[in-house]
Structure 1
Amino acid sequence: MATSEKRQEILHAALELIAEHGFHDAPIAAIAERASVGAGTIYRYFENKDVLINELFQALHDRICAGILKGYAPDSSLRERFVHLSTALLRYFIDNPLDFRYLEQYHNSPYGVAFRRDRLLGSEGNGDLYRSLLEEGVAQQIVKDLPLVVLFALAFGPLLAVARDHILGFVELDASLIAQTVQACWDGIKR
């Protein structure tokens, strides 16, 4: 197995175990066993478990960003951009339930606090597409003038909730229901 393949196997094993059992119930030994490598091999690629967890998050974040930007038209209206990003994000989570479960744990753990703080409270124009979109909407008086934390909760909280409920089998999200959900999120933030 090539070096990059082995690293990917370790990341995938960590993704599966953490999504299934959480951070604390996914020790390095279990990740190594799932990846069919020795525990010491993991430390050739990752200094420690925290580095592995954060690098896995970054890989997922990069993959999501690449996915939701397909077909994104930066010159379209604010609403059209919001609908595109929200729909693509929800579809990504539906199609990648392990990624969703990992990211939910990450964002609601001490690992994700710094990322969320920078995204929500960091300096303006920090490169986050969603934040820039919401700030633009507030500046143009298209979006309600609320704290960014509240806007994120109104815009994306429902998407996360319905993605979770779809993954758990409580609701079946088809194209129509996805469109209605995204529209309801837009309605929640628009003036």
Structure 2
Amino acid sequence: MSEPKPDKQRAILDAALILFAERGFHGAPTSLIAERAGVGVGTIYRYFKDKDALIHELFRELHARARERIFADYSLEQPIRERFLFIFSRVLRMFIAEPREFRFMEQYHYSPYAPVAQAEIPEESELVRQLLAEARAQQIIKDAPMPVLESIAFGPIVALAKEHISGRQPVDDELIRLTVEACWDGLKR
């Protein structure tokens, strides 16, 4: 028996991303993913144990891709504020440039799948949390629990990305700068 072709796996992942972003996890059965990918349903199971494994693999791939995009040229030598502005400007730009990936990642973050991912992602790769923890320890930002700090940092960025993706608010460099600076100002002591 011949090995499955990797291009079929790529087609499955690409189709799953489109359908999960458009319909959600429950609204995208494997039969629809297979149809969109141009493969038989059984082919999905040659690459993935089940739909959950497909979702987790897609998350791992998108997380790694996002990390590369966001942290390219990132320097720990910069002051905390500049690092924050650098990271969150990149995050917002990525959300706007890749709306399907943004929708998938947001959906994943708020799903029962997220705790599995948290266990798999090494803590040292969580540079955003490290940055916020460092700023909190140095008393640069509020002394609040990490979920509160993350909500203050990400909330406006997520909202603006959604406004842009829906077509209600075009986003340019100046609006990105203002939004990210406002997030920083909201975190400051």
TM-score range, shorter chain: over 0.9
* Structure 1 residues 1-191: aligned runs within 5 Å: 3-115=5-117, 126-127=123-124, 128-191=126-189
Q: Distance in 1 between matches of 2:86 and 2:11?
A: 32
Q: Distance in 2 between matches of 1:112 and 1:186?
A: 26
Q: Which runs of 5+ in 1 are unaligned?
A: 120-124
Offset at 1:147?
0.7
Q: Distance in 2 between matches of 1:57 and 1:161?
A: 21
Offset at 1:189?
0.6
User: Is the 2:13–2:58 Cα contact (8 Å) retained in structure 1?
Assistant: yes
Q: Distance in 1 between matches of 2:138 and 2:178?
A: 24
Q: Amino acid of the residue matched to residue 187 of structure 2?
A: I
User: Is the 2:17–2:104 Cα contact (8 Å) retained in structure 1?
Assistant: yes
What does the per-residue CA deviation read over 1:154-173, in whole Å, with 9 as the maximum and x for residues that have no partner? 01111111111110112111
Q: Distance in 1 between matches of 2:36 and 2:152?
A: 38
Offset at 1:115?
4.0
What does the per-residue CA deviation read over 1:68-97, in whole Å, with 9 as the maximum and x for residues that have no partner? 011211110101100010000100010000
Question: What is the RMSD computed on CA atoms of the aligned residues?
Answer: 1.8
Q: Distance in 1 between matches of 2:123 and 2:107?
A: 24
Q: Amino acid of the residue matched to residue 139 of structure 1?
A: A
Q: Amino acid of the residue matched to residue 140 of structure 2?
A: I
Q: Amino acid of the residue matched to residue 142 of structure 1?
A: I
TM-score if structure 1 supplies the norm length?
A: 0.92
Q: Distance in 2 between matches of 1:75 and 1:5?
A: 41
Q: Distance in 2 between matches of 1:113 and 1:173?
A: 32
Q: Amino acid of the residue matched to residue 135 of structure 1?
A: A
Matched-pair identity in %: 51
Q: Which runs of 5+ in 2 are unaligned?
A: none
Task: Point out 4+ residue stretches in structure 1 off by more than 3 angstroms.
Answer: 113-116
Q: Amino acid of the residue matched to residue 98 of structure 1?
A: R
Q: Distance in 2 between matches of 1:102 and 1:69?
A: 20
Kindly tell me the number of residue pairs found equivalent between the two proteins.
Answer: 185
SS in 2 for 1:47: coil
Of 102-111 and 28-37, deviating more is 102-111
User: Is the 2:56–2:117 Cα contact (8 Å) retained in structure 1?
Assistant: no
TM-score if structure 2 supplies the norm length?
A: 0.93
Partner residue in 2 for 1:122: none
